[in-house]
């Protein structure tokens, strides 16, 4: 049963990181339009916390390269979000971190799928 839980966290991480990346790429375009929208860094913080939750759940069960990608990515996202909240400085590190999160979760998902395929072909 434990093999099912990790892919769920990977799917959560991929989804959250993709939504966050789309938000970060499209929101600046929406602020140019006279719609009265303001950027709220706390939305970015929510995405970062969801990603951090997913990373904490899967980090112990993955190899060192994928763990490194995920930890570096969440660190870049957190630095960017905290810089925006405390210093009102927008850093593009959040975009790099979002892409890294998608890549890391996708690699981890593929790794689990490959391991699951290996165990089912043996029996």
Could you count the other beta carbons within 10 Å of the beta carbon of residue 118?
Answer: 9
Lowest mean pLDDT among 23-27, 43-47, 81-85, 109-113: 23-27
Kindly report the length of the chain: 123
Higher per-residue confidence, 2 vs 71:
71
Compute the average pLDDT of residues 88-108: 87
In this prediction, residue 2 carries a pLDDT of 47
Question: What predicted TM-score, i.e. pTM, was given to this entire model?
Answer: 0.74
CA 60 to the chain's CA centroid:
17
Compute the average pLDDT of residues 21-43: 71
Q: Tell me the C-alpha distance between 30 and 14, whole Å.
A: 24
In this prediction, residue 34 carries a pLDDT of 66
Beta carbons of 26 and 66 less than 8 angstroms apart: no
What is the helix (H) or strand (E) element at residue 91, kind and residue range?
A: none
Beta carbons of 7 and 58 less than 8 angstroms apart: no
Q: Tell me the C-alpha distance between 59 and 61, whole Å.
A: 6
Q: What one-character DSSP code corresponds to residue 92? A: T
């Amino acid at each position: 049963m434990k093999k099912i839980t990790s892919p769920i966290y990977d799917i959560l991480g991929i989804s959250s990181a993709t939504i966050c990346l789309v938000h970060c790429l499209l929101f600046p375009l929406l602020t140019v339009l006279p719609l009265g929208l303001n950027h709220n860094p706390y939305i970015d913080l929510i995405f970062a916390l969801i990603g951090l939750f997913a990373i904490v759940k899967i980090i112990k069960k993955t190899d060192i390269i994928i763990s490194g990608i995920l930890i570096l990515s969440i660190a870049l996202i957190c630095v960017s979000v905290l810089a925006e909240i405390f210093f009102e400085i927008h850093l593009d590190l959040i975009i790099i971190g979002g892409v890294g999160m998608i890549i890391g979760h996708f690699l981890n998902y593929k790794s689990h799928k490959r391991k699951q395929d290996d165990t089912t072909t043996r029996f």
